[in-house]
Amino acid sequence: MKTSLLMGIILCAIVTQPMALANDLPVIIPDSSWPVTKGGPGAYAHTRIRFLDKSAATTTVSEINTPAMIRSAYNLPSVGGAGAIAIVDAYNYPTALSDFNTFAGEYGLPKETSTNATASTNPTFRVVYATGKAPESGGSYIESWNLEEALDIEWAHALAPGAKIYLVEAASSSMSDLLYAVQVASALPGVREVSMSWGGSESSSETSYDHYFASTSVAFFAAGGDSSDDLEYPSASPYVVSVGGTTLNRNSAGALTSETGWNDSGCGISRYEARPAFQNVVSTDVGSHRGANDVAFDANPNTGVMVYDSTPLYGETGWWAVGGTSVGTPSWAGVVNLASVGNGVAAGSQAENARLYDTLDTSENYAAAFRDITSGDDGRVDCTEGWDQPTGLGSPLGLTGK
């Protein structure tokens, strides 16, 4: 954790109502979210999470989102989903099963009835070790990866409660270990979507690793990043759905008033990836290279989501108010999983992106499928009508066009 930031004393009791928290509270960037090494798959990836410093909270507005609040904001059903969603993260999260069930119990979601987190017969949630043995656990760096894992499994489950959730744990946060875990995840039974809330700098060798996401039966979702400075990989890959960040603005009564671009959302035009066919419709915006993001979702920690993690992080456990583009990545995987029940399973990420971008054919289709984010920016690039770098096509409205 950056030494100039306070340790998080975060939401240590279970809450059934939104926490009363002020806008613009101090935000903690945990150890795992600071870039370690630049370069290709030999480098180490970082997570895309930030969380609020509860010790500085005041009682002014209620903005931290529960599953019901997110469903209401995005016009999503409270039931549905099929097959499975795989979450790929690094290191061992020892309390994953119990935390998953605590979150599920709090919000009326299906629980995993097995007491063995790794049992292949688990119907609702299962942990898979990518190498066949449990990865390393413990220490603040790994424990902040644990909070990432908690966010990812809980919010994929919140938005697609009928889908089985796999947590695939890579041996480490090296890009090579994470990409190997992606390969394992995409081959698991029933997997329709794979969520990846991590990444590293673009590199000239990255196109040779796009094949990890080129499945014709699985859609891959990647976090766009939590820094406006640069586009990162794998969100730059044309074989993923790249997810940017927004702010859900609510009034003092908790009612949603608007959605704007989040000023830390990562985005950009790739230096190395050619423009994919699905972005021909926005070629005047992206030029000859792949532009990201494709879509957006709530990411501002001050309007973030509730997450339960009982593995100690900086000495604290319990409920956390979490943001970052890591919120939208498993959430969009859940939205697409929900939509696949009625719309059919897309034949891979590029087919899913083609479906999303096809909504631009008519204004009626687009308005039915997306909330166009037309105000705010990522610190460099403004949000505009239609597609833009920080928020892509926009945030989801219902299941149409997904």
Q: How far is CA 36 from the centre of its chain?
A: 20
Question: What phi and psi, each to the nearest 5 degrees, are found at residue 54?
Answer: -60, -25
Tell me whether the omega of the peptide bond preceding residue 234 falls within 30 degrees of 0, making it cis. Answer: yes
State the amino acid at position 300 in one-letter form: N
In the chain (402 residues long), the average pLDDT of successive 10-residue segments reads 30 34 72 71 85 62 84 98 98 98 98 98 98 96 97 98 98 96 98 97 94 97 84 96 96 91 94 98 98 97 95 92 97 98 96 98 96 91 95 98 97
Active-site pick, 31, 112, 152, 298: 152
Residues in a beta bridge with 47: 198
Query: How many C-beta atoms surround the C-beta of residue 207 within 10 A?
Result: 16
What pLDDT, on a 0 to 100 scale, did the predictor assign at position 357? 98
Class of domain 20-396: alpha beta
Active-site pick, 53, 99, 112, 148: 148
What pLDDT, on a 0 to 100 scale, did the predictor assign at position 40? 55
Annotation says 326 is catalytic: yes
Whose tokens are 């299906």? That residue is 110
Annotation says 210 is catalytic: no
Q: How far is CA 12 from the centre of its chain?
A: 23
Pairing between strand 198-201 and 232-233?
antiparallel
What pLDDT, on a 0 to 100 scale, did the predictor assign at position 191? 98
How far the first Cα of the chain sits from its last, in Å, is 37
The C-alpha atoms of residue 86 and residue 387 are separated, in whole angstroms, by: 28
Annotation says 62 is catalytic: no
> Any idea where the domains of the chain sit in the sequence?
20-396
Largest CA distance in the chain: 53
Active-site pick, 173, 326, 331, 395: 326
Q: How far is CA 134 from the centre of its chain?
A: 24
| Of 363, 222, 365, 189, nearest in space to 290 by CA | 222
* Both tokens assigned to 310: 């009982």
- In a 3-state reduction of DSSP, which class is residue 374? coil
Q: Which runs of consecutive H residues, i.e. helices, occur in 75-139?
A: 96-106
What pLDDT, on a 0 to 100 scale, did the predictor assign at position 161? 98
What pLDDT, on a 0 to 100 scale, did the predictor assign at position 140? 93
What pLDDT, on a 0 to 100 scale, did the predictor assign at position 23? 54
Contacts of 23 (CB under 8 A, 6+ apart): 60, 61, 63, 302
